[in-house]
Chain A
Amino acid sequence: DIQMTQSPSSLSASVGDRVTITCQASQDISNYLNWYQQKPGKAPKLLIYDASNLETGVPSRFSGSGSGTDFTFTISSLQPEDIATYYCQQYDNLSITFGQGTRLEIK
Chain B
Amino acid sequence: QVQLQESGPGLVKPSQTLSLTCTVSGGSISSGDYYWSWIRQPPGKGLEWIGYIYYSGSTYYNPSLKSRVTISVDTSKNQFSLKLSSVTAADTAVYYCARAGLRSGAVNYWGQGTLVTVSS
Instruction: Report which A residues bind B (CB closer than 8 A).
Output: 1, 32, 34, 36, 38, 43-46, 49-50, 55, 87, 89-91, 94-101
Contact = CB atoms under 8 A, between A and B. Distances in A.
Given A98-B46, A98-B47, A49 B110 contact: no
Interface residues of B, number: 22
Main secondary structure of the interface of A (DSSP, over half): strand
A101 B106 contact: no
B110 A43 contact: yes
B86 to A, nearest CB: 22
Contacts, number: 62
Contacts of A32: 104-105
Contacts of A50: 104, 106
Interface string B37-76: 1000000001111001000000010110000000000000
A85 to B, nearest CB: 8
B108 interface: yes
Give the 6 A-B CB pairs with smallest separation, nearest first. A91-B105, A43-B110, A49-B106, A96-B49, A98-B47, A34-B106
